[in-house]
Amino acid sequence: MKKNNDKVDNFIDMSFRSDTIQDPLKMDNSIASNYRGYITLDPAKDFILNDKIGKILENSCPTHAITYQNNDDSKINFDNGKCILCGNCQIKSPELIKITNKFDLAKKRRDDLIETFSMSAPFGKTCDELGKELKNKIDKIFGRSLTIREIDAGSCNGCEIEINALNNPIYDIERYGITFVASPRHADVLLVTGPASKNMERALKIAYDSTPNPKLVIAVGACACSGGIFGNTYATTGGIDGIVPVNVYIPGCPPRPQALLYGILMAINKI
């Protein structure tokens, strides 16, 4: 890149960009600060949840990722699995909602993607309940290298763009011993995108059955986690966990390559 930096806005300076990089997971500083990675609940000190703001938040979300409960204890539930990162809710309530540029959001249980804020209990993240036993067991089975079959169960192809990027020289997923293979019969992991359209339901099941045991399934993107904006309709099934068992959820719309990498490594307990 030409070094006329005084003229070029820092904002666009992409000095790292010409070569491959050491470790995509450690390139935090290259992620733009305005990148919409995931949304968390980060209440300002004097934030008070009342009916009004609860309702506003609930209605601001196009995919119904935010729900508000107001029995004796008012509560906001925020489902990262449904969020398509449109940013509406942050505009409505910047005191509670914060968009971060982080990517390490993959979770092993669907419930772990849901954050809750309640007025009575102090705010805190659910503790990580990952079973250590299971971890060791799976580690042993999968060893060091891993093969992935990607299945598009009706996505908008946003997620495919990012999965494809994993193979480019920048992210180069093969450095971790992970390769994409052409058939589910050669695969250890199915990487599934899309809200699982009804028309893909059968193909997905067949692919799952033809993958040899032991196998893992990773749901990629808001759509695969929950149906996303497409929800659960006559044409979609509202998330792939209704069809095949899911081991790791990687939310995002679409999740960036680092987020995918993080999720895949989490699936084999390397993180």
Partner 1 sequence: MNYKEITKKYYSELEKFDSNLKIFENNNELHLTLSDPNQLHGLCEFLKKSFDLRLLTIICCDEQKLKAGFKIRHVFGSDVDDFFLFVISSINSSHSYFPSIYDVFPSSILYEREINDMFGLIAKENPNIKPLILHDFPNDIFPLQKDFKLNDVVKRNSKQFEFTPITGEGVCEIPVGPIHAGIIEPGHFRFSVVGETIINLEIRLGYAHKGIEKLAESMPLDDVIFLSERISGDESVANSIAFCNAIEKIAQLTIPQKAKQIRLLFAELERIYNHFGTLSGILADIGFQYGASRLNILKEQLMQLNEKLSGSRILFGVNQIGGVKTNITDKTLVGIHSVLDDAFQNFEKILDHLKSNSSVMDRLRNTGIIEKQMAKDLGLVGISSRCIGIETDARHTHPYGYYPSVNLKQKTPRETMEHQVELQKRVGDVLSRVMSRVDDLRQSKDIICSIIALENDGLSVSLDEELTPYSSGLGYAESHRGETLHWVMIGEHDSIFRYKIRTASFSNWPIIEHAVLNNIVADFPVINKSFDFSYSGNDL
In angstroms, the CA 191 to CA 218 distance is: 5
By CB under 6 A, residue 267 contacts ligand SF4: no
Q: Which of residues 72-91 bind ligand SF4 (CB under 6 A)?
A: 84
* Residue 34 main-chain phi, psi, to 5 deg: -95, 5
By CB under 6 A, residue 253 contacts ligand SF4: yes
Q: What is the DSSP letter of 241?
A: G
Tell me how crowded residue 1 is: count the other CB atoms within 10 A of its CB: 11
CA angle, residues 263, 61, 125, in degrees to nearest 5: 45
The residue among 124 and 169 lying less far from partner 1, judged by its C-beta, is 169
Q: Which of residues 149-168 bind ligand SF4 (CB under 6 A)?
A: 155-156, 158-159
Strand partners, 73: none
By CB under 8 A, residue 17 contacts partner 1: yes
The residue among 53 and 84 lying less far from ligand SF4, judged by its C-beta, is 84
- Among 66, 253, 265, 266, indicate the residue that binds partner 1 (CB under 8 A): 253
Give the chain's end-to-end CA distance (angstroms, integer): 35
Q: Which of residues 22-81 bind ligand SF4 (CB under 6 A)?
A: none
By CB under 6 A, residue 254 contacts ligand SF4: yes
Q: Which of residues 185-214 bind partner 1 (CB under 8 A)?
A: 194-195, 197-200, 203, 207
- Among 76, 153, 200, 222, indicate the residue that binds ligand SF4 (CB under 6 A): 222
Question: Sign of the C-alpha dihedral, residues 68, 69, 75, 79?
Answer: negative
In angstroms, the CA 259 to CA 256 distance is: 5
Closest CA to 261 of 49, 31, 56, 14: 31
Q: How many residues bind to partner 1 according to rule CB under 8 A?
A: 67
Binding site for ligand SF4 (CB under 6 A): 84, 155-156, 158-159, 193-194, 221-223, 228-229, 253-254
